Amino acid sequence: MAALASHNVPSLDKVVDGLKEHGVFPDILPYSTAQQLKGVLEISYPSGASITAGQKPHRDEVQQEPKVRFHPPSALDASASYTLIMTDPDLMKHNDPLDKQVRHWVQPGLKLATAESPVLAAVRPPHTTFLASAPMPMTGAHRYVFILARETRDVGTGERNGQADFKERLKFDATEFVREQGLEVVGVALMKVAPTAAAGAADAALMAESAKHMVTG
């Protein structure tokens, strides 16, 4: 499934079918989550790539921080704040049991820009800054799962004032984070991204940064 244009939004039933097909339930979230989704979460990249459930963009298309949209916006509480989580469960192998998930992005304080617009905009700093997709060579295509959840209390800032290094992002568990933060999942989206040579170079730089932090603190 190629990346789709943002105006061509699938039905929620098709999204749920795609999430099930790619093992989002139960690898990342429990099966019961499928029943509580309020609508379609759409992740829109500046490149034009739009993600809902199983699109396969080229890595180059998904390097910049995307916008968050929700369809229909009327399904959300206009007075509430939401948190977006982006996680990769496939670091070294599919559903990696050793390193669990990589926490790519946690953006709390998302609110509907207007009651009629599907765009959500952040009014608070990130818990974890956006880290672009960089699947390691010879690890196959990775699933990147986006989770939008309603906040019942403020979600704070993570390690290094939100600038967590690669090692600090490992061993993440989205279901556990949702539970600990008192979040209520309302939307889930998924893309699959294949490794590239550039991704390997990006991974090496991230690991070097983590090694430096181990020495310098």
**Tens digit of pLDDT for each residue in 92-133?**
999 999 989 999 999 999 999 888 899 999 999 999 999 999
Q: Which CATH class is domain 12-216?
A: alpha beta
CB 156 within 8 A of CB 118: no
pLDDT tens-place string over residues 45-90 = 999 999 999 999 999 999 999 999 999 999 999 999 999 999 999 9
Q: Are the C-beta atoms of 112 and 73 separated by less than 8 Å?
A: yes
Report helix, strand or coil for 202: helix
Token pair in block for residue 44: 């829109």
HSE, CB side, 13 Å, CA atoms: give it for residue 157.
10
| 172-181 tens-digit pLDDT | 999 999 999 9
Question: Encoding tokens for residue 136?
Answer: 């390691």
pTM here?
Answer: 0.90
pLDDT over threshold 80, residue 4 = no
CB-based contacts of 120-126 (< 8 A; 24+ apart in sequence) = 120/68, 120/69, 120/70, 120/82, 120/84, 120/148, 123/81, 124/81, 124/154, 125/157, 125/162, 126/157, 126/162
The mean pLDDT value of the chain amounts to 91
